Amino acid sequence: MATSNCTLHSDVSSELVFKATYFQHKLQGGAPWGFTLQGGLEHGEPLIISKVEEGGKANSLEQPLLVGDEIIVINEVELTGYRQEAIALVKGSYKTLQLTWFFRIIQPF
């Protein structure tokens, strides 16, 4: 379920439009959840989905996780952006995992 839409403009010379749609879903049934994270502040990158397992829980949502989606909240904890923090929250989720993420579309202005 999409919770909001926004359009942002960059301030680079060749302007781009960023359309970000936020999603929030609960995965049920326990691990494996069916996705892999990469990046994080410790690597100077956003915390993004790098792999989604075909037929896995994350792929079975009404709005499935996609490679490149950025995770921003896990189990109602707003992330600081560190991968190890996110992994600890995911591993601590036994039967339910609630995720909030956003999907970005970048287009020329």
pLDDT at 12: 44
Does residue 78 fall inside a structural domain?
Answer: yes
pLDDT at 76: 95
Residue 51 CA to residue 33 CA, distance in Å, equals 11
pLDDT (tens digit per residue) in 26-85? 999 999 999 999 999 999 999 999 999 999 999 998 888 999 999 999 999 999 999 999
Find the domain containing 83 and state its range. 26-100
Does residue 2 fall inside a structural domain?
Answer: no
Does residue 87 fall inside a structural domain?
Answer: yes
Residue 31 CA to residue 77 CA, distance in Å, equals 19
Number of domains in the chain: 1
CATH of the domain at 65: 2.30.42.10
